[in-house]
Amino acid sequence: MKAMRFDAEHYTKKGWVHIPQLIDEDIINSVKDIGGSLRRDYEKYSEWKGISCAGRFNEDLFEIYTSQIMYDLTRQILGDVVYLFNDQIIIKLPNELFAFPEHYDNQYGPNKNLGTHTINILWVLDDITVENGSLEVKNADNERWNTPVLKRGDVLVINGNTLHRSDHNKSADERGLYACVYADKPITVDGFYREKFIR
């Protein structure tokens, strides 16, 4: 893994931060291969095309979700005590009508307005551009939408109360994300992780 360049001030002010080229190519390849395999048979694991708690279906993927780089990054943002919640594989197939409308992660489940600090660390498995269907985040401080240029190996850290959305895949190639979600308190939702993140 590469050296981490985390802009805490930007995250605190805007509700999100882009960290370019954080994940090594061999790890991205591994996640993409595992994710592609799970996605092809998603009905075995999920009622929808995004596979939640995907690490339960692949030991190597869970090791990546609980890797040292995620341990270090989550502690920079959430503090000394961090809990696991979800690792979700999202592979959009070529020209697939599979989009995420405007939402914030904490609007779902029991965490809405309960003060738990959650973060979604999106691993970019394929370049995401305006041409192939962008991913956008809204600034917490001025309500302006941003379209970060996301390259394979980047991560995008999004606060659980930050609005974001992503378009359909408009390209002839797969487009993937690995969404790693953590919290500063355990979130008790059936079917999701709730254990403390330790190494």
- The secondary structure of 99-124 as a DSSP string is -EEEE-GGGSGGGTTS---EEEEEEE
Q: In the structure encoding, which two tokens stand for residue 10, read together? A: 């930007």
pLDDT digit string, tens, across residues 67-79: 999 999 999 999 9
Is there a contact between 178 and 122 (Cβ–Cβ < 8 Å)?
Answer: yes
What pLDDT sits at residue 72?
A: 94
Superfamily of domain 8-183: q2cbj1_9rhob like domain (2.60.120.620)
Tell me the C-alpha distance between 91 and 50, whole Å.
Answer: 7
pLDDT tens per residue across span 89-141: 999 888 888 878 888 888 776 666 567 899 999 999 999 988 888 899 999 88
pLDDT digits (tens, 9 = 90+) for 159-169: 999 998 988 88
Domain coordinates in residue numbering, the chain = 8-183
Q: State the pLDDT at residue 109.
A: 64
Distance CA 51, CA 55 (A): 10
Q: Residue 111: its pLDDT value, please?
A: 60
Provide the 3-class DSSP secondary structure of residue 51.
strand
CA distance 5 to 44: 38
Closest listed residue to residue 157, CA positions, set 1, 3, 14? 14
